[in-house]
Structure formats: C-alpha cells, structure tokens
Amino acid sequence: MNNLKNWIEAARPKTLPVSMAPVILGSAIAYHNDCFNIFPAAICLIFAVLAQITSNFINDYYDFKKGADREDRLGPVRAVSAGLIAPSRMLHAIIITISTALLSGLILIHFGGWQLIFVGLTVAIFAYAYSGGPYPLSYKGLGDIAVIIFYGIVPVVFTYYVQGLSFPLIAWLASLGVGLTGVNLLIVNNYRDMEADIISGKKTTVVRFGRKTMRYVYLLNCIIAAVIGIWILKIYSIALIPFMIYSFFLWKKLDQLKGRELNKLLGMTSMNVLLYSLILSLVLIFI
C-alpha cells in the first residue's frame, strides 16, 4: 500500500485537472456546434491525463538527475529524490505511461486522420523536453509558453477537431483562456521555489523577472481568460463571476502565503483552471 501511495503521489493528482479541463472544454464546444462524439472525447481525456502523468514522472526523474530537488525543497516530496522510487523503476514507468498514451491516441486516427500521429509525437517530445534533454524548457524560462501550447491550445483545438473536423475560432480563443489559467499553476510552483531554482541554475520566469512581476502576470492571466470567456459567452458571461472572484482571492493568497504554505495554493489554482473550463462548458452546452 505504501508503494502504491508513492506512485499516486508521484503522478501529482492535484495537477491533473489542468490536463482534464481543456479536453472537457473542447468537447463542450463540439456539443455546442452539434458535433459531439463521446468516444473520441473519452480517448482524448485518457491521452491527456496519461501525457501529464508521464510529464510529471519525467520531471521527477530529471530533477533528481540534475540535482534540482535538494533536501531543503519546499514543495511536495519527489519520489525519486526522496528514495521512495528507484530511478530505474521510474524510467520503466515513464516508458509504460507514454506508450499507453500513444497507443490510445492511435485510436483517434480513425476520427481525425493520420496527421494526428504527428500531434501525438509532438506531445510526447514535449513531455520529455520539458525537463529532460539538452535544452530542458522548464530550466530556460520557456515552461510558461509550453503550458499555453500543450495544456491549452493543443488539447482544446484537437479535442474539437477529432469530433468536428475543423478549427473554429471559438476553440482557439477558449484554448488560450484555459492555457493562461494553466500557466498560473506553474507561476505558483516557481514562485515558491525561486531561491532553490537560482541555486540549481533553473531560470524560470520567476527567477528571470522576480516575484512581484510574476504575481501581476498571475492576475493578468486571469483577466485575459475572463475577457475571452466574456467574448465567448456574451450575455451569459455573468456565469464567470465565481471564476473572477475566486481568481482575485487566489491572487491575494499568492502575496500572503510563503514557503510551504504555497503548496495548498497549487491545488487551489489547479481547481481554478477546472472551474474556468466547467463554467464555459456548462454554459455552451445549455445555450
């Protein structure tokens, strides 16, 4: 049971709403446009969650290899660095999860064509390049852009595509909104770890621009997402009020909490991504 618990924690379940939210939103847009198909939508959800778990495993493994997870780490325990999971076993898990994700993604070829192979391979390469390889994105301050692309644009737009076989403007705009709210999860993580990242040579946007600047970027991301939501929902945009209130509450918390206290803000920010997606999705489904 302890071993199972270690694997569950290594998968970082609190972050998984970030991968689920864009698929839900893409499917809701498909429903709104009368082209919803539950089977490819479900496959997209499976692929997205497995891809994120793979990315989390890779991040756990390579942060250990690069010495980024030190004893004074403020974030949740990392399985490999803490000796809870052997590096070799984590590598095996990475191979299993990404292989399962790609195999499930092959089913989508039936709905969207062979070109989806390149989409799946790009996602797999990103999952590796985020923390591994000769130019790890998360170490170069490019993680935020990668999140917008692979936790916003790609899942929303292509979840819609395998159902509607087109790329409507509403899907592109919605994908940007959910991608920006997803970036805030990374901002909180890097906000907490700034001093440790400086020592480890990890040049995140928080390291590059400072906590004060990125704190306002957090708020700006929420504002832009809200504006996009208002454009999409129009007269029904009053439904976004809970998101706006909760976003402002989280932004204030970002300034108030310190060190390990920020860990709970990670989960709350992750749920805010899901809240944004669910509000847009529910309104689009029922109007």
Over residues 91-98, mean pLDDT: 94
- Report pLDDT digits (tens) over 257-274: 988 889 999 989 999 999
Nearest to 127 by CA among 175, 205, 60, 59: 59
What is the pTM (predicted TM-score) of this model? 0.92
Band (63; pLDDT cuts 50, 70, 90):
confident
- Report pLDDT digits (tens) over 182-237: 999 999 999 998 998 898 888 999 999 999 999 999 999 999 999 999 999 999 99
Helix orientation angle between 154-164 and 17-32, rounded to the nearest 10 degrees: 40
Check whether 84 has a pLDDT greater than 90.
no
Top-confidence residue, 20 or 2: 20
Share of the chain above pLDDT 70, in %: 96
* Angstrom distance (rounded) from CA 197 to CA 192: 10
Over residues 134-156, mean pLDDT: 91
Is CATH 1.10.600 what the domain over 2-286 is classified as, yes or no?
A: yes
At 278, give phi and psi (nearest 5°): -65, -40
Report the pLDDT value the prediction gives residue 254, as an integer from 0 to 100: 93
Can you read off the two tokens belonging to residue 135? 């130019």
Q: Which residues contact 114 (CB under 8 A, 6 or more apart)?
A: none
Can you read off the two tokens belonging to residue 249? 């509450």
DSSP per-residue letters across 237-271: GGGGHHHHHHHHHHHHHHHH--GGGGHHHHHHHHH
Report the pLDDT value the prediction gives residue 74, as an integer from 0 to 100: 65
Over residues 138-158, mean pLDDT: 93
Nearest to 138 by CA among 46, 201, 44, 49: 201
Domain range summary for the chain, segments of one domain joined by +: 2-286
Report the pLDDT value the prediction gives residue 67, as an integer from 0 to 100: 66
